[in-house]
Structure formats: C-alpha cells, structure tokens
C-alpha cells in the first residue's frame, strides 16, 4: 500500500481499514432489504443484501487515518499530498504564501 498523508492532521503513513463504518453500512442494507422483503412478500429481494455486501467488500475498501480517524487521505507524492505536507510541516499554511512560497507583506 502506498504511503498517504492525512488532509486533517498531516499524519504520514499507511491508513488503517475502517471496519466499523463498513459493517454499519452493510448491516443497514441487510436490515432494509429484509424488512422490505418481509413486508412486501418479495423474498428474492433478500438476495440483494449479500450481493451488495460482496460488491462492497470487493470494491470499496474504506481506509482512515490511524491518528485522527479522518477518511480523507491522499497519496503522499501527489500534488494534493505535497500541498498538505507543505501546510502541515512548514509552519505556514499554504494559502498564506504567494506562488513563490514566500509570505506576502
């Protein structure tokens, strides 16, 4: 896994999986699909929940910052990652500097 930087706190490292949010989403889908299937009598609708869970597990891997648990982490060597590194590790926020990196007076 690539090294990422957190947009919120500036943490640099590998993100961790966000199992709780993922489980909550899957549980809600299972609950809603089951309730609708029981209420309407359309029992094949129950198959939508496991299909959604399999797709969710395979495609959407939610990762979060291990320090502040923010979900917004970007690749360290991307343009956004370099801006975040500059903002969090230079002491001067990026939006306070001009295009040459100096502080305008």
Q: Identify whether residues 43 and 5 lie together within a single domain.
A: no
Residue pair 7/74 in contact (Cβ under 8 Å)? The answer is: yes
Q: Identify whether residues 66 and 105 lie together within a single domain.
A: yes
Q: Identify whether residues 26 and 12 lie together within a single domain.
A: no
Q: Identify whether residues 8 and 39 lie together within a single domain.
A: no
Q: Identify whether residues 57 and 68 lie together within a single domain.
A: no
* Beta strands, E only, the chain: 4-6, 12-13, 16-17, 63-64, 73-75
Q: Identify whether residues 69 and 82 lie together within a single domain.
A: yes
Residue range of the domain that includes 55: 21-61
Collapsed DSSP state (helix, strand, coil) of residue 10? coil
User: What pLDDT does residue 63 have?
Assistant: 83
Q: Identify whether residues 35 and 48 lie together within a single domain.
A: yes
pLDDT, one tens digit for every residue, the chain (105 residues): 688 999 888 888 899 887 767 788 888 999 999 999 999 998 888 898 988 888 877 777 778 889 898 888 888 888 888 888 877 766 544 444 444 544 444
Decide: pTM greater than 0.75. Answer: no
User: What pLDDT does residue 34 have?
Assistant: 92
Listed in sequence order, the residues at least 6 apart from 95 whose beta carbon sits closer than 8 Å to its beta carbon are: 87
User: What pLDDT does residue 89 have?
Assistant: 66
Domain count, the chain: 2
């Amino acid at each position: 896994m690539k090294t990422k930087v957190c947009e919120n706190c500036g943490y640099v490292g590998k993100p961790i999986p966000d199992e709780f949010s993922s489980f909550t989403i899957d549980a809600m889908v299972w609950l809603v699909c089951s309730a609708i299937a029981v209420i309407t009598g359309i029992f094949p609708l129950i198959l939508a929940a496991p299909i959604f869970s399999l797709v969710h597990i395979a495609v959407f891997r939610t990762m979060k910052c291990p320090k502040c648990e923010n979900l917004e982490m970007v690749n360290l060597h991307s343009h956004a990652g370099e801006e975040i590194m500059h903002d969090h590790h230079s002491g001067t926020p990026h939006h306070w500097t001009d295009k040459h990196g100096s502080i305008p007076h």
